[in-house]
Chain A
Amino acid sequence: MNVKRQLLALLVFTLAFSLVGVTGIAQGQVVKNPDTLIIQSIGDPESLDPSFAYDTASSFVFLWNVYETLIFFNGGRTDQYVPMLATEVPSVANGGISRDGKTYTFKIRSGVKFHDGSTMTPEDVKYSLMRFMLVDRDGGPSWILLAPILGFDTQTTRDDKGNLIPNIWDLANRAIQVRGNTVAITLKEPYAPFLNIMASWSMVVSKRYVVQNGGWDGAKATLAKYNNPEKPDVQELFDKGSGTGPFRLQSWDRGTGTVTLVRNTTYWRAPAKLARVVIQKVEEFSPRRLALQNGDADIIGVDRANQPAVTGMSGVRIVDDLAELVTSPALFMNLKINPEANPDIGSGKLDGNGIPPDFFADVHVRRAFAHLFNRERWIQEALRGKGRVANGPIPYGMLGYNPRGKWYEVSRDRAIAEFREAHGGQVWDKGFKFSVLFNTGNVSRQTAAQMVKEAAEALNPKFKIDVRGVTWSSYLGLMRSKKLPMFLVGWAADYADPDNFVVPFMHSTGTFTGRQGYSNPEVDRLIEAAARETDPKKREQMYFKLQEIAYTDVPTIYMVYPVGFTVMRNWVKGWYHNPIFFGYGYLYTMSKGQ
């Protein structure tokens, strides 16, 4: 048996074993390690430098725990803010937002100490924002501030040849100004989600600490040396740091995948209740589950398939049906398939043995598949019923989500009618053959692909769909080369705003639309206008309109807004959910006790 098969067998066996379960010794346990919260997670951070990390595991460790933002989310809301390192939330009413919607002024809190003992100043704030934007590693998060501040034509600090744009420092330096105890940020164009972005991505680091450890000094002349670092560990905050948060980073043992945070005793608010937080990487589910049972872990990562193994466990609670800012997966249809050496479109012609590259360019084909795919059944089968049927890119509950938005009913007759109209009736007469690919290991996507196949093949004996699993790397490669006729992939929010969903899913320059060849000038216009519009009511109407187009054009079949769940010991107190939180919640409010 090769390693891969053994690992697969291990997975199956683990699940079976876990389902059988052991009663364990959880009953009547006293609180173990009462001032230390232990979290066992599946992944480990990529880097603890806020300007480099762009993964959930990293963000969970440092965001708001080690590094704080200028403003924060109010409780579980993603559209209301409270001050954090700024003393008030900017608004037009308090003069924090200029009338033209371009300049945001933050009054910086005084007397806040960094973990290295230095006092936070507005200069630190400006430096942190500049550093976040200008370090800009390939595949990193810098665009999140770069684009709204310098304009959406500036997604990176480098030109097409990979060279640093000569005036990029000047542009950033001009856009962010320190005036007394305030920091003013002037955007190229008004951008409605900007406050939301600041609530998640305006992490403030100690400039003194960074420079002392050999980091960028903030000067234009030295920027090139620090831009796009080749390796994560050349950055000075890779495995250490100095923020203002309620916890300071004690250690990151990459050998065991363990991060340890300790209470910041000089925190500007009341110190955290927990003295220590330990985040451990435990890839295998069985030891995680047993650690929870034995009280050696307080919170563990569990995927939906393993949920039954922790349900009913003594001393453990599961908080389910948690809203998530996720639209995943969706079923994309490729309107301009790359036919070059592409076995997934068969003959490349509409002759019953393949499909032409523009097969999905005909809206009737797309509508036919939308009528075919039974999303509710898929949610039941693949997600154990946990999720809400989607009707567009914007997740349920977010501004712009239209609860009355239409979607295609599951109907065999309507699917047949659409197929009969497609490509002048040739689709129905000649049939087709193509592949739906999924990345191996992703059972829910495999189930969806299989359901599409079964539904289509049951309609007409001339319809043939192959379902093919490939590795994530191959999947990515094929997606990039636009060879996938139909593919399943999803999106999780960078920030809690509909713009972060409609752009990748619908804008002609979007992450997914670029891979499926979908372009609609009216869609682009609406997205750009909605991003500039600051009146929520007007924005909502624009997003409703976009949902209508998503329905009529249907380049993508939106499948589900999934819901999450968290598994923890009963003795964990103070945990609360906000859909924007990464990982397992906000550590500051948490404690342990009976």
Chain B
Amino acid sequence: MTTFIARRLLLLPLVAFGVTLLIFALLQFLSPAERAALFVTDPRQLTQIDSIIRKYGLDQPVHIQYWTWLKKIVRGDLGWSQTARMPTGRAIATFFPATLELTIYIFVPLILIGVWMGTRAAVHKDRFLDHFSRFFAISLRGLPSFVWGLIVLMIFYGWLNWFPPGRLSLDAELFVASPEFHRYTRLMTVDALLNGQFWIFLDALRHLAGPVLTLILVEMALLVRITRSSMLEVLRQDYVRTARAKGLDEPVVINRHARRNALIPVITLTSLLFVGLLGGVVLAETIFNYPGIGKWGAEAAVQLDIPGATGFAMFFAFLVVLGNLTADVLYAAIDPRIRLQ
């Protein structure tokens, strides 16, 4: 397994190289002036486009631009992200923990509730619980995530004032910015506990609640449906019938024999989901003004922030490789018939 993991990790630089090359190639469809637009936000700066192009070498041949960029990468310099107002590497380090924290809070309840509901729906096929879960899934998926986001925001902030947007409220933000507060992990809830500031922990939870609730509502449906259909297929297998014939308790049959085998497609889905969430959930982060990596990545791409967009793409490629690797390892752990080579 170690060799397998090492080999897959070795792929990383290759994937990153391919991604950046692709981005650079695509950007060449834009003229130097178009790429300089990032720095020209006001008509007052129109006369200086030429010097901006010269300064950033935007009129250089693509291979020279790429080579210059690559040399900087080797020195650990991912370039200045104009949209983040900071170096790209630092932008990733700043925004990613917020998204990671959000993802963790989404993922655990999402998996637990989703797999449980999917299993119950399969076991109670064509009965009330199954119909309810189907209705539930279709209803949730029926509305796009930004609509759910706005509904949650209006109800839980506009009316009830329970779950405000942002990452922290003003008092907490000021305290966190003070020298008294140490940022160990940059995961706000964890840091709050490590600093012994339970009120900040609660405040951070209040701010997480809105996007977490929205994304659970939206992502739940797919997980329930996939788990259900996978379970239904497994429940029809001979070994399940044999297990029941042996007189095993139904919970043992369902939980240990059937569900374990039904989890392979669920793992595929959840690994993709996990990576997708880590890559940022643009709309939820935008609606809840949550300073995550997705909001920044989207802004960098839209505004042609080349260092920002390229750095984000590289980082996301890294996450995808890591996510797939994790899924492969989990397959083997769950199903002993699968061997990693």
A: which residues have CB within 8 A of B?
A: 1, 3-4, 6-7, 9-10, 13-14, 17, 22, 24-25, 33, 36, 38, 44-47, 54-55, 138-139, 155-156, 158, 162, 228, 230-233, 250-251, 253-258, 260, 278, 280, 282-284, 286-287, 290-291, 293-294, 296, 471-474, 476-477, 479-481, 489-492, 494, 504, 511-512, 514-515
CA of A492 to CA of B41, assembled, Å: 12
Q: Is the CB of B33 within 8 A of A481?
A: yes
* Given A256-B167, A473-B304, A476-B46: A22 in contact with B287 (beta carbons within 8 A): no
- Can you list, as one digit per residue, whether each of B46-59 has a CB less than 8 Å from chain A (1) or not (0)? 11110110110000
Contact string against A for B residues 264-303, beta-carbon threshold 8 Å, 1 for contact and 0 otherwise? 0000000000000000001100111101000000100110
Q: Does B3 contact A (CB under 8 A)?
A: no
Q: Is the CB of A139 within 8 A of B177?
A: no
A480's partner among B39, B49, B94 (CB-CB below 8 A) is B49
Q: Are A256 and B45 in contact (CB under 8 A)?
A: no
B336 at interface, CB cutoff 8 A: no
Minimum CB–CB distance from A281 to chain B (whole Å) comes to 8
Which residues in B have their C-beta under 8 angstroms from that of A514? Answer: 47
Distance A459 CA – B96 CA, assembled complex (angstroms)? 57
* A-B CB contact pairs (8 Å), 20 listed: A3-B282, A6-B144, A44-B85, A55-B41, A156-B51, A255-B291, A256-B166, A256-B167, A260-B177, A282-B289, A294-B161, A296-B170, A471-B37, A473-B38, A476-B40, A477-B33, A480-B46, A481-B33, A504-B44, A515-B46
Beyond known contacts A283-B289, A287-B166, A473-B35: 7 more, CB 8 A cutoff: A6-B144, A17-B150, A54-B45, A232-B85, A476-B34, A476-B46, A477-B37
Pair A138/B158 contact, Cβ less than 8 Å: no
A258, B169: Cα distance in complex, Å: 12
- Of B39, B173, B302, the residue contacting A139 (CB under 8 A) is B39
Q: Kindly identify, within residues 142 to 157 of chain B, every residue whose CB is under 8 Å from any CB belonging to chain A.
A: 144, 146-147, 150, 153-154, 157
With most chain B CB atoms within 10 A of its CB, the pick from A3, A47, A278 is A3
- B33–A255 touching, CB < 8 Å: no
Q: Is the CB of B37 within 8 A of A473?
A: yes
Given contacts A9-B146, A473-B30, A480-B33, contact A256 B173 (CB under 8 A): yes
Q: Is the CB of A10 within 8 A of B85?
A: no
**Count class of interface residues, chain B:** 35 or more
Can you name the residue of chain B whose Cβ is closest to the Cβ of A514? B47
Residue in A162, A278, A291, A492 whose beta carbon sits within 8 Å of that of B54 in the complex: A162
Smallest beta-carbon distance B155→chain A, Å: 9
Chain B interfacial positions (CB closer than 8 Å to A): 30-31, 33-49, 51-52, 54-55, 80, 84-87, 94-95, 98, 144, 146-147, 150, 153-154, 157-159, 161, 164-167, 169-170, 173-174, 177, 282-283, 286-289, 291, 298, 301-302, 304
A284 to B290, CA, bound (A): 11
B157 & A290 in contact (Cβ 8 Å cutoff)? yes
Chain A residues lying within 8 Å of B165, measured Cβ to Cβ, are 282, 287, 290-291
In the complex, chain A residues whose CB is within 8 Å of the CB of B170: 33, 36, 38, 278, 296
Contacts of A480 in B (CB 8 A): 33, 46, 49
- Alpha-carbon gap, A504 to B42, bound state (A): 13
Q: Which residues of B contact A45 (CB under 8 A)?
A: 85
Distance of A232 Cα from B86 Cα, bound (Å): 9
Smallest beta-carbon distance A408→chain B, Å: 24
B128 to chain A, nearest CB (A): 34
Complex Cα spacing A481 to B170, Å: 47
A25 to B173, CA, bound (A): 24
Task: Decide if B282 touches A1 in the complex (CB within 8 Å).
Answer: no
* Residues on the A chain within 8 Å of B154, using CB: 17, 22, 286, 290
In the assembled complex, how far is the CB of residue A385 from the closest CB belonging to chain B, in whole angstroms?
Answer: 25
Docked-complex contact A139 and B37, CB < 8 angstroms? no
Chain B nearest CB: distance from A531 CB in Å? 18
Cα distance, A24 to B80, chains bound together (Å): 42
Cβ–Cβ < 8 Å partners of A17 in chain B: 150, 154
In the complex, what's the smallest C-beta–C-beta distance from B272 to chain A, in angstroms? 18
A534 to B288, CA, bound (A): 53
Does the CB pair A139–B48 fall under 8 Å?
Answer: yes
With the chains together, A293 CA to B165 CA distance in Å?
Answer: 13
Q: Which of B37, B158, B282, B302 contacts A293 (CB 8 A)?
A: B158
Contact partners of B94 in chain A: CB under 8 A: 254-255
User: What residues on A are CB-neighbors of B31 within 8 Å?
Assistant: 477, 481
- A10 and B146 CA atoms in complex are apart in Å by 6
Q: Which of B44, B87, B153, B282 contacts A494 (CB 8 A)?
A: B44
Question: Chain B's nearest CB lies how many Å from the CB of A412?
Answer: 32
**B287 — nearest CB in chain A belongs to which residue?**
A284
